[in-house]
Amino acid sequence: MLRRALAGAAVLATALGLLPLTTAGTAHAAPAAFTHPGVLLSAGQLDFVRTKVQAGAQPWKAAYDQMHASKYASLTRTPKPRAVVECGSYSNPNIGCTDEREDAIAAYTLALEWYVTRDARYAEKAIQIMDAWSGTITDHTNSNAPLQAAWSASVWPRAAEIIRYTYGAWASDKVTRFATMLRTVYLPEVANGSRSNGNWELSMVEASIGIAVFLNDRAAYDRAVALFRNRVPAYVYLTTDGPLPRTVPGSGLDTRDEIVGYWQGQSTFVDGLTQETCRDLTHTGYGLSAISHVAETSRIQGQDLYPEVADRLRHALGLQAKYQLGTPVPSWLCGGTLEQSLGPVTEVGYNALHDRLGYGMTNTQLLTERQRPAGTNNLFTAWETLTHAGNPA
């Protein structure tokens, strides 16, 4: 109850400000020292997963079996690194885009396989993939370069943290080279965020905070958190925000018409509506997934941003889940039609808010349990029933 009260107080305090959100007066500070492994998963969380799988407990065993049978767990995978990855809008052209994202997911999958099985072949294959890319890639180009970099760099640090801090046989010069790749190839693409689409910036923040943890870079971490605190209230609406959604400072959204246009033409605002709900649920899922991932990493690092975003995240998950579950879409919402689906993105937020903090989340629970075991969207989410279902650590 205390955690809920604190979350509500944070929302109320924010609501009393001007429409654009600022970071002044925030109560949290960056961690004095980083926790490793600490990107999306802690050592305690990994131990919980391993114990459940080894015991054959459900839903973790079924989730592990799904992962193990996937192409990403293959010990014969050949990485496909490129010096320059070129990605246009909707990955057209696609010159290395899919290869990069899928190799990153494979490295993460293999790292999880290593931790669960203690079979060194999986760790070595993960290292092979990470070394191949760190020794090759130099740049991302074309219009989707920032988003492509964000998606890939959201996953690389998850894999690298597990291998670096639990395997112990990754050569130090290759670790240094991988860190250099993150700092010089990826971080410049994502560190300053994007004032355009919300899921872009949230994915960029997720990548930035993961990179910051791996690099033990407090300045990069602080910058990512500042972007997060500005973007989340501008992505998910609460009635306490007033008649209009909040905006990111400097976004150029100054009038009601401009804000409504940015929100896909939606002019009626309710708790949990997102800036992209009326675009489609899939892109909305990207944004909500990134919010959950950033908050989860911050919690592991001892900062815990969940209280700041709890009301927005739980309402957003619940609203989108409600309609994905089949509730008729009213005419005032997106013209009575919602496109596509959220994808496998609810486990992390649901576990944090419902299982740990005790929020009632009926619709999110129904959707989460219906979708188990959650697989991968082949972009940046993967195996979250395995890693976060009922995970108390």
Q: What is the pLDDT of residue 29?
A: 63
Q: What is the pLDDT of residue 84?
A: 98
Q: What is the pLDDT of residue 196?
A: 79
Q: What is the pLDDT of residue 91?
A: 86
**Residues 6 or more apart whose Cβ sits within 8 Å of residue 382:** 67, 72, 105, 108, 109, 155, 375, 376
Mean pLDDT per block of 10 residues along the chain (393 residues) reads 36 32 46 95 98 98 98 98 96 96 98 98 98 98 97 98 97 98 98 90 98 97 97 98 94 94 97 98 98 98 96 98 98 96 97 97 98 97 98 95
For residues 106-139, one letter each, b for 16 or more C-beta atoms within 10 angstroms of the residue's C-beta and e for the rest, the string is bbbbbbbbbbbbeeeebbbbbbebbbbbbebbee
Determine the Cα–Cα distance for residues 288 and 7; give it in Å rounded to an integer: 18
Task: Tell me 171's DSSP state.
Answer: -
Task: Tell me how many degrees the CA angle 71-100-279 measures, rounded to the nearest 5.
Answer: 95
**Residues 6 or more apart whose Cβ sits within 8 Å of residue 289:** 343, 345, 348, 380, 381
Q: What is the pLDDT of residue 281?
A: 98
Bridge partner list, 86: 95, 141
Q: What is the pLDDT of residue 141?
A: 98
Domain residue spans in the chain? 2-388
Q: What is the pLDDT of residue 249?
A: 86
The number of residues making up the chain comes to 393
Q: What is the pLDDT of residue 195?
A: 77
Question: Under CATH, what is the fold of the domain 2-388?
Answer: Glycosyltransferase (1.50.10)
Q: What is the pLDDT of residue 14?
A: 33
Residue 232 host element (H or E): helix 218-235
Question: Within 10 Å of residue 76's Cβ, how many Cβ atoms?
Answer: 5
Determine the Cα–Cα distance for residues 152 and 222; give it in Å rounded to an integer: 21
Cα–Cα distances in angstroms (integers) from residue 191 to residues 119, 148, 205, 304, in the given order: 36, 14, 7, 20
Q: What is the pLDDT of residue 10?
A: 36
Determine the Cα–Cα distance for residues 308 and 314; give it in Å rounded to an integer: 12
Q: What is the pLDDT of residue 60?
A: 98
Q: What is the pLDDT of residue 19?
A: 35
